[in-house]
Each structure stands twice: as C-alpha cells, then as structure tokens.
Chain A
Amino acid sequence: GDSVTQMEGPVTLSEEAFLTINCTYTATGYPSLFWYVQYPGEGLQLLLKATKADDKGSNKGFEATYRKETTSFHLEKGSVQVSDSAVYFCALTSANQAGTALIFGKGTTLSVSS
C-alpha cells in the first residue's frame, strides 16, 4: 500500500542554520504531497503542499519540491528560527479506498536553539 518514509529525529540545529528533512513516498497513481507542522500541545497545521510533479510548495520560508523521478518531497528552509521548533509530518493523499485520506510519515522533531 501507499506509504511515507521520513528521516527520524530529533533534528537539533542552531538558529539560522539550514534545514533539510528528507521524505520519500511509495504510491500508486499520482498523489498530492503535503508537509504538516505540529507545535507542542496543538493540532496539525498545513505548512505547504504540491499536487503534481515538479510543483514547488512554499510557505513561511519553507520549501519542498515534488520529485516524481526520485519519489521525494524533501522539506528545506534556509535559516531556521527558534519558533520553528515543532514536529514536521510528511504526508500523501491515498485514493486506494472509496475516498481519499492522508497517509502520514512518523514525524520528525525539530529543535532549534538560540
């Protein structure tokens, strides 16, 4: 079945460092790809998405490009801030069943120190 694999954390960075969180997927068909962020004690918020190959999603300085040839959707940010500390989830929409739902990776915890 469809699945998402993302790098295990925690990822610990200093403020202003470059961030990459790797995400690869397995899917039949043409899924849409998402990054969600979860701040402590809160629900998940959409960070960015891409709906077709070569699309780049971007938001709040974060970017990810939908690479069909490598089945990847890596999250990057050029200069992280302490406020970026959170858990990041890569996800895809799976249309294997009667509807579509998100399939999530296990999450990567990012901790940024000043």
Chain B
Amino acid sequence: NAGVTQTPKFQVLKTGQSMTLQCAQDMNHNSMYWYRQDPGMGLRLIYYSASEGTTDKGEVPNGYNVSRLNKREFSLRLESAAPSQTSVYFCASSEGPGSGNTIYFGEGSWLTVV
C-alpha cells in the first residue's frame, strides 16, 4: 500500500525560483493537508483541503499556494522561494474532517532554498 506519496523527496532551489510539491493518496480520503516541520517548532499547518473542491489557510500560509487537483492529489506551490521556506514538508490525508479520524502522513520532502 502506497498510502500518501509526495515528490520530490529532496530539492534545492535558488531564492526567487518557483516549484511545486506534488502529493497523492490512494486511500480514497476526502481531506488532505500540507504541513512544514522546522527544528524546535513541531509541525505547522500551511493549507488544508477538507474535501475535493475546497481549500483553506492554516497557520502559516504566506508564500504558498495550493491546488486540490482531484480527490487524490493536492499540490503545494512556492511562487518565489525564500530562504525562510527551507524546511521539511509533509503531505497528509484523512477520511474526512471528523475530529477522531486518523491523519496519515507522507515521508516528507526536504527543501533547501539558497
């Protein structure tokens, strides 16, 4: 079972460049999420999509855009990368917005902006 798959796993960008992180889940989940992980900060929510066709800002949305392409796929775009966006990015999914639903994570994408 693939679960949540995100690409690329590693990327180095120059300041000002753009890129898209791709995420797909094969669990027929309704909700999908993008988090970033920084040392000493835990994981912080960037954007989420409660269901296909909807997206909402999380705690740290500035500098990012998202697209819920279909039920399976949820991409995260950096339009003009900045060094402050150097981080590990995790995509996640869950059955739906119910509070007891387990959220499943991908393996992470390590992004360095120089």
Contacts and interface: CB of A to CB of B under 8 A. Distances in A.
B56 interface: yes
Contacts of A104: 42-44
Interface of B is mostly: loop
A95 B31 CA distance: 13
Interface in A14-41: 30-32, 34, 36
For this complex, into which size category does the number of interface residues on chain A fall? 20 to 34
A49 B102 contact: yes
For this complex, into which size category does the number of interface residues on chain B fall? 20 to 34
Contacts of B105: 36, 43-45
A46 interface: yes
A98 B49 CA distance: 9
B56 A98 contact: yes
Interface of B: 4, 31, 33, 40-45, 48, 50-51, 54, 56, 58, 90, 92, 97-108
Interface of A: 30-32, 34, 36, 42-46, 49, 51, 89, 93, 95, 97-107
